[in-house]
Amino acid sequence: MAERKIIDETHVIAAKKGNGLLRREVWVNANNVVSRYNLAYINHQLFKGDNGRVFGFDNAHGYHHRHYFGKVEAIDFTSFENVEHFFELEWIKLRG
């Protein structure tokens, strides 16, 4: 059985709360284990590069990594839940 997408969400953030989009995509394998993910905060007013992705986490290109204002760095992956937690912390930190 191929991967299947179980989450495909885009949340619009009001201008007074930071503006932009929160994007969340998650795929699972035949054993219902997260096999692929993309979590991103997109705001073209804050950052024009990387298709407006201010920060995010994904495991495309064969490794787990973090995007932050155009810079990409590998992360130590322990679990998808942990990555979601760090994504939430980044959002809270950026919002101030």
Residue pLDDT, tens place only, 34-53: 999 999 999 999 999 999 99
Locate 45 and state its tokens: 């007013």
11-15, 25-29, 57-61, range with the lowest pLDDT: 11-15
| Average pLDDT over the chain, rounded to an integer | 94
**Per-residue pLDDT averaged across 1-30, rounded?**
92
56 — pLDDT class (breaks 50, 70, 90)? very high
- Give, in order, the Cα–Cα distances in Å from 63 to each of 1, 32, 33, 37, 72: 22, 20, 16, 11, 11
Q: Across residues 91-95, what is the average pLDDT?
A: 87
pTM: 0.91
Dmax of the chain from CA atoms? 44
Burial of 52 (0-12, 13-18, 19+ CB in 10 A): middle
Percent of the chain at pLDDT > 90 equals 86
